[in-house]
Amino acid sequence: MASCHGRADAARLASPPAAPAPPRLVALIGPPNSGKTTLFNRLTGLRQKVANFPGVTVEHHIGKAHLPGHHAVDIIDLPGIYSLNPRSEDEQVTHDVLHGAMPGLRRPDGVILVLDSTNLQRHLPLAAAVLSLRLPTLVVLNMADDLRQRGGAVDTEALANQLGAPVVLVSAVTGEGVKSVAQFLTGGIAVPRVVELPVLQDVPACRQWARDVSHGARYTHPAPPLWTRRLDAMFLHPLAGPLVFAFVVAAVFQSIFSWARPMMDAIQAAVAVSGAWMRASLPDGWLESLLVDGAWSGVGAVVVFLPQILLLFLFIAVLEDSGYLARAALIADRTMARVGLQGKSFIPLLSAYACAVPAIMATRTIENRRDRIATILIAPFMTCSARLPVYTLIIAAFIPERPFFGPFLGTRAAALLGLYLLGFLAAIGTAKLLKSSVLRSDRAPFVLEMPPYRMPTLTSIGLRLWDRTLAFLKRAGTVILGVAVLLWILASVPTSNGAPPPIEQSLAGTLGRAVEPLIAPLGFNWKIGIGLITSLAAREVIVGTLGTIYGMDPDHNSAGLQAALQRELTFGGAVALLVFFAFAMQCMSTLAVVRRETGGWKWPAIQFLYMGTLAWVCAWIAHTLLG
Amino acid sequence: MQLGFKAASRKRRAASLAELPAGAEAVIERLDLPEEFAARLMEMGFIPGHRVAAALSAPGGDPRVFRVDGAEVALRRETARHILVRNN
């Protein structure tokens, strides 16, 4: 469609009226909470992917929208912004993309500006900034259903006349008007007609302009959102508010621990059954061993965590889309301020209980760089789901199940809770330490817009969970598969007479022995050493590694993993191992994401050394005290 | 005694947003804050001459939500102290 540049077409193109061609790359921009992403999901569906801009931490989604008449257009969803003055990183990115200054991305040939129709005057100043760019622009007034319901109204034609650009009223949530957005794109959008715009740096002048324009568009401001007021009266109630908050946090934990169990058991069973089937159908030999013992069981041990991670993300997505998360940040702010952080750090730290990687990406909402780095550095102390299999294995092997606190809490659950507390205390202590030394800063201003409560939509939550599933499976298929295969190779060479060597004579055994002097004071032997080396890639890998080691070691062939561990470790050594896992930075993905988010190797290196040293010292203390 | 003194002093000079009781309204006079931060707050609706109302807060009264420009924005007390308002 866009390739018709030939001479034969020249005459046709010149003949009036020449409708502009459909754009090829459209930028979707708008203020936070304008429903921009919902519209993006409506337009692109599953044909979208996440990407990072080079050199900055801002992530964007890019997707393809299929328009009527076999046209396709790439749509890029930019971060929510209040203005185009490049003050925050998000604003800088939007500014650069719209000016064609973003490396690796051509300048968009169209802009869809999404504004919240229920608060037009507030958001019109952004329209002035966008129109002054002289890019073909379509103005979308979102939340049409809300506007009508609350008795507001706007004359879109009058508004279009004043802005010099087409205006459509849509509701991305219900799908109303979304078709006309597609039609506008197909028909081609024009450069806005020249209209009088205010001086953009003069905020009061922009406001006056916005007021005049909305008057001209016969804009009736809708009644205040009644439901939001009612819900806030409960969620921000001095007594009920904190109770609801505690209930929400407890529900998130409960879901990770108990609701995920049946799904995890099902995945575990599926991995075991398919592994057995592979063993039966493959000829005996090294290939069978590599595929079943190396790759399949290694990856399977990790994929088991998918339900937990998805449940946590489901919760976070529902809380965020409904608008409650902003209230949670408000309630948590005072407590977070006590350790030198702020309410916006609460969301990343809560996510870190599932996985530090998305948690660290979630720190992007914190504008103050020092607060943000402090949050990034402490997030991996929160007990992520990858630590769970290690904790459960060792606790089951070393702590007998007895009532601890009446019938409510057994010793094992208490030990697990203690480990969660340990990680939390390490995070708090580290935050205090950082914020009173290298990352000291004036208390960062906390400014947070409270969005109205909205019913989360299935599409947007489904798409986010899909995103997460893909990312997680990609990790299992790359990093974890790689480590599993590498370990299998290390444990299988050098071969003697074509047969794999005893584990202590293998390359893996040699490596384990090499680190033994370093870990012997903690009560760990060389086999645990191999597990510690492989768990540098990802914590949960140690479980599969120990399984492989003891499975391959003829002495332990018949013994279960727990029995083998009971023989290898003293009680003090087991506690030391738990403490080590609570503190040590054993996760390549986290280090990689910290490097990307902090823009260099400095902070990940500091984090790795700090957490490693703390882990060693505390494990040594535990081993020395308990013997 | 003390109450009377407070009311009298409020008439003479502008009070800050931090002193605005929940549910009360006022008009923003000026933002006594660094330029960058003041500009950001203005973009979010804290514009001199505009009305502002104090709404609900986190437990303990800090941070507090303010209704401004048809939206709700939460600020800490230490920020609200630097936003001067007059009763109107």
Say which residue, A56 or A214, is predicted with more confidence. Answer: A214
Query: pLDDT tens digit string along A482-531?
Result: 877 888 888 887 777 777 777 778 888 899 999 999 999 999 999 999 99
Can you tell me the mean pLDDT for A112-125?
Answer: 93
Q: Which residue of B has its CA nearest to A328?
A: B58
Predicted local confidence at residue A143, as pLDDT: 93
Residue B32 in contact with partner chain A when CB distance is under 8 A: no
Predicted local confidence at residue A203, as pLDDT: 83
Q: What is the 3-state secondary structure (H, E, C) of A508-525?
A: HHHHHHHHHHHHHHHCCC
| CB–CB contact B63 A330 (8 Å) | yes
Let me know if A134 is exposed, middle or buried by CB neighbors in 10 A (0-12, 13-18, 19+). exposed
Q: Which residue of A has its CA nearest to B60?
A: A238
Q: How would DSSP label each residue in A429-496?
A: HHHHHHHTTTT--SPPP-EEE-PPP-PPPHHHHHHHHHHHHHHHHHHIIIIIHHHHHHHHHHHH-S-B
Least confident interval from A30-39, A40-49, A554-563:
A554-563
Residue A339 confidence class, pLDDT cut points 50, 70, 90: confident
pLDDT surpassing 60 at residue A8: no
Residue A257 confidence class, pLDDT cut points 50, 70, 90: low
User: What does chain A come to in residues?
Assistant: 627
Q: Which two tokens stand for residue A612?
A: 């490693």
Predicted local confidence at residue A186, as pLDDT: 85
Predicted local confidence at residue A10, as pLDDT: 40
Query: pLDDT tens digit string along A66-78?
Result: 887 778 899 999 8
Least confident interval from A488-497, A535-544, A546-555:
A546-555
Say which residue, B46 or A441, is predicted with more confidence. Answer: B46
The kind and range of the H/E element at A266 are: helix A261-281
Predicted local confidence at residue A7, as pLDDT: 42
**Which range is most confident: A17-21, A200-204, A370-374, A443-447?**
A370-374
For residue A415, the Cα-to-chain-centroid distance in whole angstroms is 29
Structure pTM? 0.80
Q: What angle, rounded to 10 degrees, do the helices at A261-281 and A306-322 form?
A: 140
pLDDT surpassing 70 at residue A388: yes
Q: Which residues from chain B sit within 8 angstroms of residue A32, using beta carbons?
A: none
| CB–CB contact A330 B65 (8 Å) | yes
Residue B38 in contact with partner chain A when CB distance is under 8 A: no
Predicted local confidence at residue A444, as pLDDT: 63
For residue B75, the cross-strand partners are: A447, B64
Q: Which two tokens stand for residue A188?
A: 């081609």
| Distance separating alpha carbons of residues B88 and B72, to the nearest angstrom | 20
For residue A568, the Cα-to-chain-centroid distance in whole angstroms is 38
| CB–CB contact B70 A121 (8 Å) | yes
Can you tell me the mean pLDDT for A111-140?
Answer: 93
Query: pLDDT tens digit string along A426-479?
Result: 999 999 999 888 787 766 678 888 999 988 888 888 988 888 788 778 877 777
- Pick from B38, B29, B79, B73: which is nearest to B53 by CA? B73
pLDDT surpassing 90 at residue A554: no
pLDDT surpassing 60 at residue A164: yes
- Determine the number of helices (DSSP H) and then strands (DSSP E) in chain B: 3, 6
Predicted local confidence at residue A135, as pLDDT: 92
pLDDT surpassing 50 at residue A13: no
Q: What percentage of chain A exceeds 70 in pLDDT?
A: 92
For A4, half-sphere exposure in the C-beta direction (CA atoms, 13 angstrom radius) is 10
CA distance B33 to chain A (A): 11
Predicted local confidence at residue A484, as pLDDT: 78
- Pick from A28, A65, A68, A60: which is nearest to A44 by CA? A65
| Distance separating alpha carbons of residues A127 and A217, to the nearest angstrom | 14
Q: Which residues from chain B sit within 8 angstroms of residue A333, using beta carbons?
A: 58, 62-63, 76
